[in-house]
Amino acid sequence: MLSRRIIACLDVREGRVVKGVRFRDHVDMGDCVELAMRYRDAGADELVFYDIGASPQQRCVDVRWVERIGRVLDIPFCVAGGIRDVRQAREVLLAGADKISVNTPALERPELVDELAEAFGVQCVVVGIDSLRDADGQWRVRSNTGEPGTLRALPRRTLDWVCEVQARGAGEIVLNCMGSDGVRRGYDLEQLRAVRAACRVPLVASGGAGSAQDFVDVFVQADVDAALAASVFHTGAIGIPVLKQAVAACGIRVRHAA
């Protein structure tokens, strides 16, 4: 069995890492390069950087800070933010990123996933899905989630979108359960289990981590390949070395657990 991955997520605005609760009320957490090095040294398996203003502002991620990060990291990292075509994706990859992630641009033009997979291989293509349960009990996707004033609810069911992007060439899916984001009450296990049943590529859980037990639960109960968190790492509420020890103690294989 492959090791489960622990991923630190960094939402970036103008080169600074910010963190909010349910995509609102963002506060400054520090310089993106400094935090990247901190998580590298702490033993994170991978980092994910989201330029949260890119899609709402109709622009692509600023490759200048991607290049700065690429010069100091020796662990894989993924970058997302307004990537709308192969040329933009190539610039981000050449700046040092190992993967590129698309969310809103793929919802606007699903063929983008096919084009990226053909150009760079499925191993480079991640599709991020921001998902929220509606009043009728169905999970549906959201777009332009980086800024509260631009968020859009779409009629597309989350499970349908999961199946479509896999068919188009997504090599990995990050499911961000928006109802759990930033509140530290645990991952949305029900939704993640439903997506896991439809997902044959690596699945990354996002939204809701508040304790080491939450990571154990999402690996055991939802069988995800990786668990992503932000605020609990940024604030020091959970240290990655201690987290890995706790997860390994429950019989879950992780990299470099002491």
Type of residue numbered 146: G
Supply the DSSP string of 199-257, one letter for each residue: --S-EEEES---SHHHHHHHHHHH--SEEEESHHHHTTSS-HHHHHHHHHHTT--BTT-
Q: Give yes or no: 41 in active site.
A: no
Is 225 considered catalytic here?
no
The candidate with the shortest Cα–Cα distance to 208, out of 239, 175, 253, 236, is 175
Give the bridge partners for 130, in sequence order.
142, 176
Residue 4 has what DSSP assignment?
Answer: B
What does the radius of gyration of the chain's CA atoms come to, in whole angstroms?
17
Work out the angle at residue 120's Cα, subtended by the Cα atoms of residues 129 and 82, and round it to the nearest 5 degrees.
40
Handedness of CA 24, 30, 32, 35 (dihedral sign): negative
Q: Write down the catalytic residue from 45, 130, 214, 225.
A: 130
Q: Give every CB contact of residue 40 below 8 A, 6+ residues apart in sequence.
A: 47, 72, 73, 74, 75
Nearest to 106 by CA among 92, 116, 98: 116
Strand partners, 95: none
Tokens 């590529």 belong to: 201
- What is the set of active-site residues? 11, 130
